[in-house]
Amino acid sequence: MKDAREALVRVDGLKVHFEIREGFLSGLLSKEKKVVRAVDGVTFTIDRGEILSLVGESGSGKTTVGKAILQLVQPTEGAVVFEGAPVSQDREGLKAFRQNAQMVFQDPYQALNPRHYIIDIVAEPLDVAGLVKTSEEREQRVREALEQAGLTPADDYFYRYPYELSGGQRQRVVIAGALILGPRFIVADEPVSMLDASIRTGILKLMIHLRDTKGIAYLFITHDLSLAWLISDRIAIMYLGRVMEIGTADEIIKAGLHPYTQALMAIMPVPGQTREGERPVLEGETPNAAVEITGCKFSSRCPRATERCRQEQPELMEVAPGHSVACFPVQEEHRSSTEHIAGNE
């Protein structure tokens, strides 16, 4: 669902570095502070009503990107633009932004206060923002949010505790809490990874329904490429804090160009099919994100790495409309192909 107007969310050169705490003596002797480059220069846009999936293995920085966009983690560098304006850092600016941008966390039980009734958990954003004046209005807003999240009749859930609900019901409560302020953008951090397969379908259908009926845009964070394909308009492949490839869901699944994307594709289960021939298996250890890496972070595991890859860090380059890849061999092949076509013309 592309929108020709300005993107709803624009992330430009986002970096999040965490300083490593050292011992007293090491701190005195060390000339430079060591940092973990959790996010190391991420750029993308999300249109109104679009679902962009951020896919990568554990430790790639996916969740940190989502938190940095919502200012739950302070970015080291870069800009986050929402509806054409930079996200303000002052109290009132953040308050206004967070009424339009919410987060659904991975673990629904950890996200809910076990000592509070469901009505109080869902109503908390309203209470914090001071958006309701009467208890009747508060109850009605909670009722609407719970029903939008698929918990009906909503009144049956008002005075229940989180431990009295199933995992799927708890996640719907979390979604209701995100919906109650009427956001236009939601960061969904592995929202179904802790749920049974049968329950996942209902949550995913709910998210798509909310996108279609309310125009909500999502940054859908997941390690499951097949799941991203099912729900996304576009997919961004992330590795050690950087986006390796970004394009439409079909382009990434059917014609992924980056070796890391192809390796992720190779381990995707295909129902009723047996893979034949050799599969691209990644060898070697994942580099330490705390260490300064001169070249491409993926080069130590990449079967196509060249000497240039070990010396330089490739930037994303568009190889087709809306399809960009950060890989020198792929970019060189694209450049050669383009020159060949131009020569024949």
Cα distances (angstroms) measured from residue 9 to each of 49, 57, 198, 294: 11, 24, 32, 30
Cα distances (angstroms) measured from residue 108 to each of 73, 83, 333: 20, 29, 45
Does residue 284 carry a pLDDT above 80? no
Token pair 């739950």 in the structure block, residue: 72
Domain limits, the chain: 9-270+280-344
**Distant-in-sequence, close-in-space partners of 249: CB < 8 Å, separation ≥ 6:** 53, 228, 229, 232, 233, 234, 235
Nearest to 144 by CA among 180, 192, 190: 180
- CA 278 distance to own-chain centroid: 31
DSSP H or E run through 222: strand 217-222
Q: Token digits for 203? A: 């949550």
pLDDT digits (tens, 9 = 90+) for 43-90: 999 999 999 999 998 889 999 999 999 999 999 999 999 999 999 888
**Contact yes or no for 83/5 (Cβ under 8 A):** no
Report the alpha-carbon distance of residue 212 to residue 50 in Å, rounded: 10
pLDDT digits (tens, 9 = 90+) for 197-253: 888 899 999 999 999 999 999 999 999 999 999 999 999 999 999 999 999 999 999
Nearest to 248 by CA among 327, 330, 323, 187: 323
Domain 9-270+280-344 has CATH 3.90.45.10: no
pTM of structure: 0.89
Does residue 31 carry a pLDDT above 60? yes
